[in-house]
Amino acid sequence: MRALPDTDPRSLTVQANIHCSFCNGGYLQAGVNGNIPLQVHFSWLFLPWHRWYLYFHERILGSLIGDPGFSLLYWNWDDQVYGGNEIPELFTRVNTSLYDAKRRAEVQPPTIVPLAATTLPNMSASIVTNQNLNNMYQSVVTASTASLFMGGALRAGVDLSNVTVLNNTLGGSLENGLHTAIHYYVGDPTTQLLQNMGNFGTAARDPLFYSHHSNVDRLWEVWRLNMPDGERADHTDPDFLNAEFVFYDENANMVRVKVSDVLDNQKLGVYYKKGRSDHVWINYSPPASTNESAVPVALSGGVPLVGESPLNGTISIGTNFSAIVKRPSEEKPSKTLEVLTIQGVQVARDQFVALVAFVNIPWATENTTTDSAEYLGTFNIVPDPAKSSLNTNVKYEIGDNLKRIGLEKEAEVVISLVVTGSNATVTIQGLKIDYEDQ
Ligand code: C2O
């Protein structure tokens, strides 16, 4: 694949450019008025698009080596027991086709790859491990709805850099919490834009990209089939099922494919063995680091009450921001989740940035660890200076956290947001807690 000329759609260069085109506005949406870029991140398109992309990439590799049974390896970075949380040694052998020189020097094996942007370089391995387990737990186990986990609707005509709070898309926790952290930590910070893995334009030049995404794909399946609360459901909206993309197949022919045809891995001939250590994060029980409501101390410290958009205007987060947020006053209906929505997050995309959310820790900072029940999740955004900004909603299941801390009876809670990774500008339009259907 590396040896093929750049004019061949099966070459690694063109394979990487396909990712770049779908992710950085190389294509325009079909059948809508105006020039609206197509973007396969930050919404429900993320998982199915990348599954199709891996499917063709794997078939191309198999056909190039004459082995139709060839299978991509997945990098099980979620594994905190058997060493999956290091960059796989296979990819670090200089002068082999799996090697890429543009990777972060500080996370070479045996360094553990963090899944949380607040992880400081000199944290102990046990804190990093617990933070990773908690990130897995919060992003996969308690994110039980398709919207929370896969991301929300992106419908024809919506331009992600130019939306209102009402038609903002919603990025999912697998993408924005876990997947993007890996992109950030593997990319080389001494290059412009964290090349190769740290921005969507160059990420797929690194062969590790495909093994990273194979694990993302595997986790989608684990989320759907292997959670303690039983089988979970993908989106069923026709706008999701009927979305179409084009790819090159192993014969270098262009083919058109649909989201609805990629939802069943078995039909694609893709099987994942049960992960040896999945149960460790599935059953992770994050300890609470606080034991009473922080609302009184936050109130006396001047923390403001923040409500739903448009009541607040635009709130600038700075490096950190705390607010008191009301919980719904009515009883929680069964088959619902209690969910925090960070409304209308707007991020300048000139550099990597992460927005980290906590409950009951007023004035949290980038040094606040993410291994406890107070941690809600992280929204990581890779840089893309060609786009001025991204507008999105961010949601976290919060009921499980409140229960673990013992705050189920409280009428209001303290929410803290921390900006880390860079000092990029982040603003929001509101904070809202309500019940959402499961
Ligand atoms: Cu299209 Cu991991 O990104």
Tell me the pTM. 0.97
Residue listed under structure tokens 């409501």: 293
Single-letter code of the amino acid located at 5: P
- Amino acid 438: pLDDT: 84
DSSP per position, 152-214: ----TT--TTS--TTT-EEB-HIIIIIIHHHHHHHS-TTSGGGTTTTSTTTGGGSTHHHHHHH
What are the pLDDT digits (tens) for 159-183?
Answer: 887 787 777 889 999 999 999 999 9
How much is the average pLDDT of 72-79? 97
Q: Model confidence at 384, in pLDDT bands (50, 70, 90)?
A: confident
**Contact criterion met (CB below 8 Å) for 78 and 275:** yes
Residues acting as catalytic residues: 19, 41, 50, 179, 183, 200, 213
What are the pLDDT digits (tens) for 106-116?
Answer: 999 999 999 98
Residue listed under structure tokens 């291994």: 371
- Amino acid 390: pLDDT: 87
Alpha helices in 32-150 (DSSP H): 46-64, 125-136, 146-150
Burial track 135-166 (b if 16+ CB lie within 10 A, e otherwise): bbbbbbbbbbbbbbbbbbbbeeebbbbebebe
What are the CA-CA distances from residue 323 to residues 10, 242, 387, 425 (Å)? Answer: 51, 40, 29, 18
Ligand 1, atom nearest to 23 Cα: 1
CA of 180 to the centre of ligand 1 (A): 8
Q: Model confidence at 120, in pLDDT bands (50, 70, 90)?
A: low
Q: Does pLDDT of 70 surpass 70?
A: yes
Here the tokens at position 89 are 């040694």
Burial track 389-402 (b if 16+ CB lie within 10 A, e otherwise): bbbbbbbbbbbbbb
**Can you say whether residue 140 is alpha, beta or left, with left for phi > 0 and alpha for psi between -120 and 50 degrees?**
alpha
Query: Which of these, 307, 325, 316, 288, lies nearest to 403 by C-alpha position?
Result: 288
Separation CA 308–CA 306 (nearest Å): 7
CA of 323 to the centre of ligand 1 (A): 32
| 51 in contact with ligand 1, CB cutoff 6 A | no
**Contact criterion met (CB below 8 Å) for 391 and 346:** yes
- Amino acid 413: pLDDT: 98
Mean pLDDT, all residues of the chain: 94
Strand pairing category for 389-397 and 430-437: unpaired
What are the pLDDT digits (tens) for 329-372?
Answer: 999 999 999 999 999 999 988 899 999 999 999 999 999 999 99
How much is the average pLDDT of 25-42? 89
Handedness of CA 115, 120, 124, 127 (dihedral sign): negative
What are the pLDDT digits (tens) for 387-404?
Answer: 778 889 999 999 999 999
| 223 in contact with ligand 1, CB cutoff 6 A | no
**Which SS3 state, helix, strand or coil, does residue 405 take?**
helix
**Which SS3 state, helix, strand or coil, does residue 317 take?**
coil
